[in-house]
Amino acid sequence: MTFFLANANFGLEDIEYQVELTQEGGLRGEVFPLLAIAGGLGVLAALFFLLRALYSRRWEKGLSCSLRFREEYGVEGGVSSLTEVLANDKGLPLPVVEIDFHIDRRLQFTGGGNYALSDQSYRRDVFTLAARERVTRTLEFRCTERGYFRIEEAGVAARDLFLTQKYLGSFPQHTEFYVLPKGVPVGQVAPPFSRIMGEMVSRKKIYDDPFAFAGLRDYARGDPMKYINWKATARAGKMLTNLHESTLSQRVVLLLDMEGEADPLNEASVRLCCALCQRLLEEGVSLAAYSNGTDAATGARWELEGLQGGGSQLYLKKRFACIQAGDGLEDVCRLLPEQPGKEDLVVLLSYRQRPELAEDFAQVVGPGRGVQVIPCRGERRELPAHKNVSLVWTEV
């Protein structure tokens, strides 16, 4: 409903009237145009207050707001977008509607716009909605850092037809977005990965692993019949037996230290740990990972258990997107739910070059084997050596 008021400038010159003085000294005037104007103003005033009351009661009826990320996840340094959908499903127009929300500043909107940066990004967008109109707007942003992000509420402020009243409300939102860790150069992940795989292959088991084929040899008296390679025997004309690598059960337990919220080496540790897990999963290794960091999605301490198979890659990256660093965190070496077995290989990733941390890790490994991976940038401090722990430095 739209009303227009034209030619509403009144003056004495617009009012024509005639006054006659009678012999009795009375005053007689023709005031009908003035009364008509006064009546019109009264009608307009009534309509004004009627519309004001109508907007006050029904401005929010049929109004909806939806915020949705275009994709479920992005990668550090990449670009994605957020979609705003605003609908006015009623007969009253809304000349001004403001939508505002806040989100972590690590998602930075591009192309300018009405937003302010502090510890978070505060975004405000203005719409004009006719009766029964739906408006969609797309906001592009850059993923500056890894993380887990969600929008839980959008505030709304609307004005009536005369822009004299402001009405406030909010709409709950349920949208989330993951920024996955970016990839790691091969030169960074190769040294620790090679050391881990070397430890797994070199250690002896009580029995051979039938899935780790190493070659063929001549049959020897006492070899189990199941190890005879009958196809190779037929081709060679003599008995040949399969050789198997002496490997442990394929399980690696990783400890990721996230102490030090402001240290950029923590981010390097997260990327390196994620890349190592990816490579190990591709090799068919079963994984468990624990950290003293916080899970941004749940608020609990971060952990990852029972992961195996190459199909778990996306889930793995999402979990690493959620981990948060902090100060004064629990000792990372005390996070294991149980003492690792002799067949488990324990890997510690921490940029902190502290002798006491190396001592604690050696005690946790116990009779088993461990690998301590230290992401660094130039400086390398001397750390105590332990027979049950291999030390790997990685420049990041």
State the architecture of 186-203+249-395 in CATH terms: 3-Layer(aba) Sandwich (3.40)
* Tens-place pLDDT, residues 265-297: 999 999 999 999 999 988 878 899 999 999 999
Residues 6+ apart with CB under 8 A from 96: 126, 127, 128, 158, 159, 163
Tell me the per-residue pLDDT of 36-48, one tens digit each, with 9 for 90 and over: 787 778 778 778 8
Q: Which residues of 91-118 are buried (b: 16+ CB within 10 A; e: fewer)?
A: ebbbeebbbbbbbbbbbbbeeeeebeee
The amino acid that residue 392 corresponds to is V
**Tens digit of pLDDT for each residue in 224-243?**
777 788 888 888 888 888 76
Tell me the pLDDT of the chain (396 aa) as tens digits: 333 333 334 443 443 444 444 444 444 445 667 777 877 787 787 788 888 889 989 999 999 999 999 999 999 999 999 999 999 999 999 999 999 999 999 999 987 666 666 668 889 999 999 999 999 999 999 999 999 999 999 999 999 988 889 999 999 999 999 999 999 999 999 999 999 988 887 664 444 555 556 677 777 666 677 778 888 888 888 888 876 654 445 689 999 999 988 788 999 999 999 999 999 988 878 899 999 999 999 999 999 988 877 667 899 999 999 999 999 999 999 998 888 777 789 999 999 999 999 999 999 998 888 999 999 998 899 999 999 999 999 998
| Domain boundaries, given as residue ranges, for the chain | 12-58, 63-180, 186-203+249-395, 213-244
Q: Of 248, 245, 203, 242, which Cα lies nearest the Cα of 223?
A: 242
At residue 229, φ and ψ (nearest 5 deg) are: -90, 100
The 10s digit of each residue's pLDDT in 47-63 is: 888 888 899 899 999 99
| Cβ contact 94:129 at 8 Å | yes
Q: Is the pTM of this model over 0.85?
A: no
**Residue 217 buriedness (CB in 10 A; 0-12 / 13-18 / 19+):** middle
CATH of 63-180, one of 2.60.40.680, 3.40.50.360, 3.30.70.20, 3.30.70.3340: 2.60.40.680
Q: Which tokens go with 40?
A: 């019109």
Residue 37: per-residue pLDDT = 82
pLDDT at 118: 65
Say what the pLDDT of residue 28 is. 46
Give CA angle at 218 (212, 224), nearest 5°: 60
